[in-house]
């Protein structure tokens, strides 16, 4: 069974084609600076045909999407028009994510009208976390309207948690997964179930992101509007595009540039790295207390997999907890490799596990197809 996973960004389109009989990747590719998703989809399908990975479009059992948020849908769903409308209803909460996905999915529907299009919502993994961690202290009415801490990056935290269970040979683990990339979140899991996530109602909250603000006291918004005359659109744009590493450093939204500037003595760049690290530690600490410890702290995604210094900064001075990083092991982690980077006598294993969100979506898509067949 062949399943195509489409990853749609605001200006990018990436794909991976799986043979689900053995989870082999038959093809992968993508386009940056995309202005027309239809064109990118067309070209990608042509590439897959030309390479022999997909001889006939009818061989595609489904196209899967790592969809973000839809009103009232927290799991895996066939992307009917009703589901797309439920996504549209949440566009204000996920303005960088939902509109491009909806546009891309509609283009797929035009090109492949008979192929099931399936979305695994990023909120799915955290949907069964304890209610106390998902509830904001707002009225019942607001909660019913959907104001709650959903948590995101579900496919990534799920992949990492399940992979660590496999690597360590136990499924009763307390795992804290640090998905650190263009957008970042800290997830906690106990016994292969999500316990909590640093992202809240929107994918803009929690730890600072590349150019999104992360946690911010909501009363900053009326203050900025009433005392400083900003419009709501200006505030939203600033929080969504001009915050995070970029906002603090004034240098770049890419941690490589921020780090280079900090090494040259740029104090704002150094502060951006410090705020980022501080916030990650804050969330790890919160989850360690709630879980009464951690069997593994795991780093993943672009920054988590590639930035030795960030991992070192996050794990610094935790010896009181029995958590000890091995600096040598941390320094030699090869790109794309799984590694244990804690000292042999560390109470908690510290690990690097490259994420694979696409395979999680593909597996869930297959499960949905099979459940529909029964
Ligand atoms: P992601 O969202 O997981 O693709 O991560 C993107 C971010 O990870 C970029 O903004 C970079 O800051 C960082 N990153 C990605 N690749 C590397 C790399 N090879 N070395 C260092 N940092 C990287």
Beta carbon of 99 within 6 Å of any ligand 1 atom? no
The pair of structure tokens assigned to 290 is 């709630």
Please give the pLDDT value at position 218: 97
Confirm whether 132 is domain-assigned: no
By most ligand atoms within 8 Å of CB, the mutation choice from 156, 180, 299, 306 for ligand 1 is 306
Confirm whether 263 is domain-assigned: yes
Residues 202 and 245 in one domain: yes
CA of 307 to the centre of ligand 1 (A): 8
The gap from C-alpha 207 to its chain's centroid, in whole angstroms, comes to 12
Beta carbon of 203 within 6 Å of any ligand 1 atom? no
Q: Are 323 and 348 in contact (CB under 8 A)?
A: yes
> Going by C-beta distance under 8 Å and a sequence separation of 6 or more, which residues neighbour residue 81?
none
Residues 84 and 221 in one domain: no
Averaged over 88-99, what is the pLDDT?
Answer: 93
CA of 151 to the centre of ligand 1 (A): 21
Residues 171 and 91 in one domain: no
Residues 96 and 192 in one domain: no
Please give the pLDDT value at position 369: 96
The gap from C-alpha 193 to its chain's centroid, in whole angstroms, comes to 17
Beta carbon of 166 within 6 Å of any ligand 1 atom? no
Distance, CA of 191 to CA of 19 (rounded, Å): 29
Q: Count the domains in the chain.
A: 2
> Going by C-beta distance under 8 Å and a sequence separation of 6 or more, which residues neighbour residue 253?
182, 210, 211, 244, 245, 246
Domain CATH for 61: 3.30.420.40
For residue 287, which of 157, 170, 167, 169 has the smallest C-alpha distance?
Answer: 157
Strand 296-300 with 76-78, pairing: unpaired
pLDDT above 80: residue 350: yes
Please give the pLDDT value at position 367: 97
CA of 42 to the centre of ligand 1 (A): 28
SS3 358: helix
Beta carbon of 323 within 6 Å of any ligand 1 atom? no
Beta carbon of 212 within 6 Å of any ligand 1 atom? no
pLDDT tens for each residue of 245-289:
999 999 999 999 999 999 999 999 999 999 999 999 999 999 999
By most ligand atoms within 8 Å of CB, the mutation choice from 199, 256, 257 for ligand 1 is 256
Residue 206 DSSP symbol: S
Confirm whether 142 is domain-assigned: no
pLDDT confidence tier of residue 33, bands split at 50, 70 and 90: confident
Residues 159 and 251 in one domain: yes
Distance, CA of 80 to CA of 280 (rounded, Å): 37
Please give the pLDDT value at position 81: 96
Strand 2-8 with 60-65, pairing: parallel
Please give the pLDDT value at position 74: 83
By most ligand atoms within 8 Å of CB, the mutation choice from 255, 262, 310, 311 for ligand 1 is 255
Please give the pLDDT value at position 164: 98
CA of 308 to the centre of ligand 1 (A): 12
Distance, CA of 161 to CA of 179 (rounded, Å): 11
Q: Are 20 and 43 in contact (CB under 8 A)?
A: no
pLDDT tens for each residue of 135-194:
999 999 999 999 999 999 999 999 999 999 999 999 999 999 999 999 999 999 999 999
Owning domain of residue 12: 2-121
Please give the pLDDT value at position 351: 98
- DSSP letters for 106-168: HHHHHH-TTS-EEEE-TTTGGGGS-HHHH--S--HHHHHHT-S-----HHHHHHHHHHHHHHH
Distance, CA of 334 to CA of 112 (rounded, Å): 39
CA of 306 to the centre of ligand 1 (A): 7
Please give the pLDDT value at position 179: 98
Residues 217 and 338 in one domain: yes
pLDDT confidence tier of residue 297, bands split at 50, 70 and 90: very high
Please give the pLDDT value at position 136: 98
Rounded (5°) CA angle 314-324-351: 65
Averaged over 10-28, what is the pLDDT?
Answer: 94
Confirm whether 221 is domain-assigned: yes
pLDDT confidence tier of residue 237, bands split at 50, 70 and 90: very high
Confirm whether 260 is domain-assigned: yes
Beta carbon of 257 within 6 Å of any ligand 1 atom? no
CA of 132 to the centre of ligand 1 (A): 33
Average pLDDT, the chain: 96
pLDDT above 80: residue 10: no
Residues 208 and 277 in one domain: yes
Residues 161 and 273 in one domain: yes
């Amino acid at each position: 069974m062949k399943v195509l996973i489409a990853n749609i960004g605001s200006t990018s389109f990436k794909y991976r084609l799986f043979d689900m009989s053995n989870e082999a990747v038959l093809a992968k590719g993508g386009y940056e600076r995309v202005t027309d998703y239809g064109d990118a989809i067309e070209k990608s399908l042509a590439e897959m045909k030309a390479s022999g990975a997909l001889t006939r479009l009818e061989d595609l059992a489904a196209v899967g999407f790592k969809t973000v948020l839809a009103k009232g849908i927290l799991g895996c769903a066939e992307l009917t028009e009703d589901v797309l409308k439920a996504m549209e209803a949440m566009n204000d909460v996920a303005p960088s994510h939902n509109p491009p996905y909806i546009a891309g999915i509609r283009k797929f529907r035009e090109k492949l009208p008979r192929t099931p299009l399936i979305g695994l919502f990023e909120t799915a993994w955290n949907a069964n976390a304890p209610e106390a961690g998902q509830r904001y202290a707002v009225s019942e009415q607001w909660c019913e309207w959907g104001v709650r801490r959903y948590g995101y990056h579900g496919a990534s935290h799920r992949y990492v948690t399940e992979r660590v269970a496999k690597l360590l040979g136990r499924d009763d683990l307390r795992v804290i997964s640090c998905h650190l990339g263009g957008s970042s979140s800290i997830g906690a899991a106990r016994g292969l179930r999500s316990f909590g996530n640093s992202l809240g109602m929107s994918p803009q909250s929690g730890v600072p992101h590349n150019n999104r603000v992360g946690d911010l006291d909501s009363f900053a918004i009326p203050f900025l509007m009433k005392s400083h005359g900003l419009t709501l659109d200006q505030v939203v744009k600033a929080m969504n595009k001009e915050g995070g590493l970029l906002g603090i450093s004034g240098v770049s939204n890419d941690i490589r540039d921020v780090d280079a500037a900090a090494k040259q003595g740029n104090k704002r760049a150094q502060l951006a790295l410090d705020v980022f690290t501080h916030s990650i530690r804050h969330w790890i600490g919160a989850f360690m207390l709630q879980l009464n410890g951690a069997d593994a702290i795991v780093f993943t995604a672009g920054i988590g997999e590639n930035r030795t210094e960030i991992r070192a900064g996050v794990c610094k001075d935790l010896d009181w907890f029995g958590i000890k990083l091995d600096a040598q092991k941390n320094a030699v982690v090869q790109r794309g490799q799984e590694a244990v980077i804690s000292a042999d006598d560390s109470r908690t294993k510290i690990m690097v596990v490259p994420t694979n969100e696409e395979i999680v979506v593909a597996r869930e898509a297959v499960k949905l197809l099979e459940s529909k067949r029964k």
